[in-house]
Amino acid sequence: MLLTCVRMEGRKLRHSWLWLVFMVIPVIPAVMGGGNYMMNQEALQAEWYSLWTQCSLFYSNFFYGPLVALYCSYIWRVEHLNHNWNQLMTMPVPFADIFLSKLYLALGCTVFLQLWMWVLFIITGKIVGLPGMPDLQILLWLLRGCAGGMGIAALQLLLSMAIRSFAVPIALALLGSVMGLLLSSGGMGLFWPYSLMLMGMNANKTENMIGNLAPFLLSTGLFFLLFTALGVCYLKKKDVRAV
For 141-180, how does the pLDDT look when each residue is reduced to its tens digit (9 = 90+)? 999 999 989 999 999 999 999 898 889 999 999 999 999 9
What is the Cα Rg of the chain in Å? 19
Q: How many helical (H) and strand (E) elements, i.e. helices and strands, does the chain have?
A: 12, 0
**243 pLDDT more than 60:** no
205-214: average pLDDT: 84
> What pLDDT score was predicted for residue 86?
63
Query: Sign of the C-alpha dihedral, residues 113, 229, 188, 218?
Result: negative
Q: pLDDT class for 82, splitting at 50, 70, 90?
A: low
Confirm whether pTM is higher than 0.85.
Answer: yes
How far from 21 is each of 25, 63, 66, 84, 169, CA to CA, in Å? 6, 12, 12, 26, 17
Lowest mean pLDDT among 99-103, 147-151, 238-242: 238-242
d(CA 181, CA 166): 24
Give the three-class secondary structure for 209. coil
Q: pLDDT class for 241, splitting at 50, 70, 90?
A: very low
Strands (E), the chain: none
pLDDT digits (tens, 9 = 90+) for 226-239: 999 999 998 887 65
How far from 197 is each of 86, 95, 167, CA to CA, in Å? 35, 28, 21
Chain centroid to Cα 231, Å, comes to 17
Percent of the chain with pLDDT over 70: 92
**75 pLDDT more than 70:** yes
**11 pLDDT more than 80:** no
Better-predicted residue by pLDDT, 134 or 164: 134
Q: What is the largest CA-CA distance in the chain?
A: 63
Lowest mean pLDDT among 10-19, 129-138, 162-171: 10-19
d(CA 228, CA 155): 8
